Structure 1
Amino acid sequence: MSKHTRLRIHIAPLGFESDRIVLPAIEMKADKIWILIHNNPKKTKAKSYLDNIKTRLRKERIEFDVKKIDRLDLFSVIKGVRNIVNEDENNMYYVNVSSGSKIQAVACTMACMMFNEENNLIPYYAQPEDYFDYKGKQMSTGLDKIIDIPQYDIKTPEEKFIRTLRIIKENKNKIDKTNLAIEAEKKEIIVVGSEENFEQARFTSLNKNIVQPLKNDWGFVKEEKIGRTRWVEITPEGENVLEILD
């Protein structure tokens, strides 16, 4: 496939069925499909479906690849989608939110909301013709129709905030403001223009441009004063966003 052509790339979590992955790819003329598979094969019974999908895609001459993720971890799935899209943002990506588990469906939908900056990340739902109770066989068959999912945006923090959270994380989730200011200035997260009262200017720049937005706008850090020292600590929300975006 040419790197200069805008390709139609599908992303689909692997579940206990194959039609829901293969048939939409054929109907929508996919150039390639990424299949999200569990990173621990011993804990899934989906291998036979993966083998069937590969065989059918080869027959249709649709290129495919696999991405290993933890299918039980929301953030792992979101990050998996993000990493695929980041490989070439010039392509069009169609994300199948119907082929895997509920966790994977939520994660794929969230990924489309978070990383659709180029308006090239489109979620869809493949509605099968028939449903069955899972008894070691495919849970559904056929393809009735493909339903476009309404798209909404989830705002993501600027890179400077992610880099700051990384510094805090590397210091066991908590660092005093003075040392955070020093590290932020070293890494050019903040720029201090004044040479007069340099340390105070650096501290003020960190507080105004980084810490206060992280605390008040995003809720990713919290502050605590112990004696004369001010500490900045990452919150669970901050850890979660760092897990996805770092």
Structure 2
Amino acid sequence: MTDEEPAPTPADDRSNATTEDETAADESVSFEGLTVSDRVHIVPLGYEYERVTVPAIRMRADRVYLVYHEGDDPAKRPEYYADIREDLRAAGIAVDDDTVCNIFDLYDTLRTVAELIQANREHEVYVNLASGGKVTAIAGMIACMVTGNAEPIYVSAAEYGQDKEVPVAKNVTSVSRLPTYPIQAPSRDPLRLLRYVVEDGPVTKQECIEFAVGAGIDPLAGHSEDDTRGLYRLLDSHLLNSLRDDGYVETFKKGRNKYVEATVEGENTLEAFAYLLDED
């Protein structure tokens, strides 16, 4: 879409709509040995209407995930949320509106968006960075860069207002893909230990070793249990050093024991990336 092209009104644009005959024909076709992907849009909802519907309809989305703020009373949501769902469905787009998160919390939003991206990693996924607020935009961008499985898009409009009783932006002028750069998510094995420390900590380093061996984390799991010094060395080099360097855990000595405790940053990181541990 160029700046000169007039933006469609969602109610009038039905370019993705299908007739009953077309739907029946589609359902009768089988694809053997082929992977057929859908076009999926992930849309955290703020006070937007056209910036939600226009890109999904114009880009011929097959499914849209609407992400609501978990603290909102559904009965008190803006009335135009119902119009969003109606317009999308009228355009032949499946709407998933069961997802909620704290859209004002970066880590919760990051986790939620990343989980949706991963759940649809076999499809063509887009994350709308303009449909919510600043936090959802940052979280959505990070989720795209960490997973590497989604494209972030930004939707510009000609008019912007302040009245939250009506959509903030009007007259969409362009939908742009934003550049992304790879971000390395926490390594899996240190993340497994971090979850143990967050859930059970503070824990001793000996308890960390016992957890790692019991969880089958190499090379500790395959190391001789009689070599205590070797196990402590492997715990530090393979797991703890990276967690400490990233500021996710702190170690301290109490009595004769050395303890490991998660930091606030570690707790937030686990919240954001716990989905990586749920893929087994």
Q: Same fold judged by TM-score > 0.5? A: yes
| Superposition pairs of residues 157-176 of structure 1, within 5 angstroms | 157-171=186-200, 173-176=201-204
Say yes or no: does 1:206 pair with 2:235: yes
User: Which of 192, 195, 210 is the aligned partner of 2:224?
Assistant: 195
Q: 1:103 to 1:198 in 2, by over 3 A?
A: same
State the Cα deviation string for residues 8-63 of structure 1 (Å, max 9, x = none): 11011112221101000111111111111112332895441220101101111111
> What letter corresponds to residue 18 of structure 1 in structure 2?
Y
The 5 A counterparts of 1:133-152 are 133-134=162-163, 136-152=165-181
User: Is the contact made by 1:190 and 1:205 (CA closer than 8 Å) also made in structure 2?
Assistant: no
Judge which range, 145-154 or 127-136, deviates more: 127-136
CA distance in structure 2 between the partners assigned to 1:76 and 1:239 by the alignment: 11
Post-superposition shift, 1:238? 1.0
Q: Which amino acid aligns with 2:234?
A: S
Unaligned ranges ≥5, structure 2: 1-26, 275-280
Q: Which residue of 1 aligns with 2:265?
A: 237
Higher alpha-carbon deviation: 44-53 or 104-113? 44-53
Residue type of the partner of 1:17? Answer: E
> Displacement of 1:196 after TM fit?
7.3
Aligned residue in 2 for 1:105: 137
Q: Give me the whole-angstrom Cα distance separating, in 2, the residues matched to 1:214 and 1:155.
A: 14
CA RMSD of aligned residues (A): 2.1
Contact 2:204-2:259 at 8 Å conserved across structures: yes
Q: Which residue number in structure 1 is paired with residue 67 of structure 2?
A: 36
Q: Distance in 1 between matches of 2:164 and 2:81?
A: 17
Alpha carbons 1:221, 1:234 under 8 Å: kept:
yes
Aligned in 2, Cα 1:46/1:15: closer, same or farther, shift over 3 Å?
A: farther
Q: Alignment length, in residue pairs?
A: 241
Asked if 1:60 is matched to 2:111, the reply is: no
* TM-score (structure 1 length as normaliser): 0.90
SS at match of 1:219: coil
Unaligned runs of 5+ in 1: none
For 1:153, the equivalent position in structure 2 comes to 182
Cα distance change, pair 53–211 in 1 and its aligned pair in 2 (3 A) = same
Structure 2 Cα separation of the partners of residues 207 and 135 of structure 1: 52
Question: 1:129 aligned to 2:131?
Answer: no
Q: Is the 8 A contact 1:126 1:146 kept in 2?
A: yes
- Residue of structure 2 in register with 1:89 after alignment: 121
The CA deviation at 1:186 is 0.5
Identity of aligned residues (%): 29
Structure (1 or 2) with the larger CA radius of gyration: 2
Q: Is the 1:185–1:202 Cα contact (8 Å) retained in structure 2?
A: no
